[in-house]
Amino acid sequence: MHPALWPPRDAPGFGDYSVRDLAAKFLMQVDDLAEHGRYRLANAEEQARAADGRRRVVLMGDSITDFWTPDLLPQTPAVRFINRGIAGQNTSVMLMRFQSDVAALSPDAVVLLGGTNDVRAYAGDPAGIAESGLERVSRNIAGMADMAIGRGSRVILATLPPIGSDIATIARSPAVIDLMNQWIRGFASDRDYPLADYHAALAGGRGLMPAPFSDDGVHPNAAAYRLMAPVLEAAVNRLFFSDLVV
C-alpha cells in the first residue's frame, strides 16, 4: 500500500480503520483474497479443451479436496474429474471463486465439499462455533448449489469427514461436524441431490476418524481416500448412470 493511503496512526483504530478493516481492505485491493490465481491457467486450458464425450465433474473444496490426488480418485472411464480444491479455504471464500473455478467451466456437475475450516476455532471453545458455523456453511453451500443449477450444472453434496480424538490440537468439535453433516444430508434430501457420505465411510468408534486414516486427525490419507473414492463414484453413478446403481 502506498504511504499516502495509510490512515493516520495517531487516531484510535488507525484513523477510520480498525486493524481488521485495514487487513480486509488490503486483501480486497490486491484482488485475490479467494486465490483466483491458483487455477487461472488451468481454467483457461480447460475452457479451450475439446469435448471428449466424458462427463466433466468439478470437485470444489478445501484441503481435503486439494490433497486428493488423481491416482486415488475414482477411475471411471466415462467421467473426468477436475480438482478445484484450495487448502485452508472456508465456504465463504469458496463461494467467492465459484464463478471462475466452477461456473465458468460449464461442467456437467460439481461436488461440493466444504465446512471443515468454517468449524475450526482459532480462539475459544470449538463447540461455540455451532450456530455461526452452521449459518455460514448452509448459506454458502446453498449459494454455490444455486449458482451451479442456474448455469446448467448438476450438484452432488458431500459430508465432512470425521476428525481425530485430539480435539485440543485439531480445534474442531465432533458435535459441530455432526451438526453440519445433519444439515448437509437434509439439504441433499430436500433437493434430491446425490450425497457422497464420506463421514459414514470413515467414522470409527464414537464417530471419530480412526488413526490409520489420517496422519493429523483432520486430513484423510491415502487409505482414507481409497475408502472415499467408491462413495464418490456411487454418487456420480446415481447422477448420470442410474441404471448402474443397484
Task: Indicate the pLDDT class of residue 178, thresholds 50, 70 and 90.
Answer: very high
Q: Is residue 143 part of a domain?
A: yes
> What average pLDDT does range 33-50 have in this prediction?
93
Report the chain's mean pLDDT, rounded to a whole number: 90
> Domain span at residue 96?
52-244
| Residues belonging to the chain | 246
Question: The domain that contains 193 carries what CATH number?
Answer: 3.40.50.1110
Task: Indicate the pLDDT class of residue 219, thresholds 50, 70 and 90.
Answer: very high
Task: Indicate the pLDDT class of residue 10, thresholds 50, 70 and 90.
Answer: low
Sequence-ordered strand ranges (E) for the chain: 55-61, 79-85, 109-113, 154-158, 195-196
Q: Which pLDDT does position 132 carry in this prediction?
A: 93
Task: Indicate the pLDDT class of residue 180, thresholds 50, 70 and 90.
Answer: very high
Q: Which pLDDT does position 82 carry in this prediction?
A: 98
pTM over the 0.85 mark: yes
Nearest-CA neighbor of 201 among 183, 220, 188, 216? 220
Task: Indicate the pLDDT class of residue 191, thresholds 50, 70 and 90.
Answer: very high
Q: Return the ∠ at Cα 219 (arms to 142 and 109), rounded to 5°.
A: 35
Return d(Cα 56, Cα 124) in angstroms, integer. 41
Q: Is residue 26 part of a domain?
A: no
Task: Indicate the pLDDT class of residue 33, thresholds 50, 70 and 90.
Answer: confident
Q: Is residue 17 part of a domain?
A: no
Q: Strand, coil or helix: what is 81? A: strand
Q: Which residue has the higher pLDDT, 1 or 32?
A: 32
Secondary structure (DSSP) of 133-184: HHHHHHHHHHHHHHHHHHTT-EEEEEPPPP--S-HHHHT--HHHHHHHHHHH
The listed range with the strongest mean pLDDT (3-7, 12-16, 122-126, 184-188) is 184-188
Q: Is residue 35 part of a domain?
A: no
Per-residue pLDDT reduced to its tens digit, 106-118: 999 999 999 999 9
Q: Is residue 29 part of a domain?
A: no
Q: Strand, coil or helix: what is 220? A: strand
Q: Is residue 210 part of a domain?
A: yes
Return d(Cα 189, Cα 207) in angstroms, integer. 22
Q: Which pLDDT does position 1 carry in this prediction?
A: 46
> What average pLDDT does range 94-102 have in this prediction?
97
Per-residue pLDDT reduced to its tens digit, 127-169: 999 999 999 999 999 999 999 999 999 999 999 999 999 988 9
Q: Are 80 and 52 in contact (CB under 8 A)?
A: yes
Q: Is residue 44 part of a domain?
A: no
Return d(Cα 199, Cα 209) in angstroms, integer. 9
Phi, psi of 61, deg, nearest 5: 180, -160
Task: Indicate the pLDDT class of residue 246, thresholds 50, 70 and 90.
Answer: very low
How many structural domains comprise the chain? 1
Q: Is residue 39 part of a domain?
A: no
Q: 205: Cβ–Cβ under 8 A, 6 or more apart, which residues? A: none
Task: Indicate the pLDDT class of residue 205, thresholds 50, 70 and 90.
Answer: confident
**What share of the chain in percent tops pLDDT 90?**
79
